[in-house]
Amino acid sequence: TMVDVLPRYVAHHLPPDQREAPDAPARLGVAISELSDDLHAKAQKDSRYAGANSTLVALVVVGSRALVAHLGDSRAYLYR
């Protein structure tokens, strides 16, 4: 579910023309937080999702800039 809906949340909160804005990192955080809250609410209403949890690492690349966000105990590493 997370993989299917994440692009919509990012596009809504962080449209392509605003991905270089100073508040872009905060907007990405809001998108992921809202997604988490919505999935949790869905689990409360639909027994098929009862007890469901997810972790997430998201990377949005714009030119030479990368925005990284995470949810849960996942993490991203810089590889050189």
Q: How confident is the model at residue 2 (pLDDT cuts 50, 70, 90)?
A: confident
Q: What is the pLDDT of residues 18-75, one digit of tens each?
A: 888 989 999 999 999 999 888 888 888 888 888 777 788 989 888 888 899 888 888 8
Residue 13 has a pLDDT of 93
CA atoms within a 13 Å half-sphere pointing along the CA-CB vector of 25: 7
State the SS3 of 18-65: HCCCCCHHHHHHHHHHHHHHHHHHHHHHCHHHCCCCCCEEEEEEECCE
Residue 34 has a pLDDT of 92
Residue 40 has a pLDDT of 85
Residue 27 has a pLDDT of 92
pTM score, whole prediction? 0.80
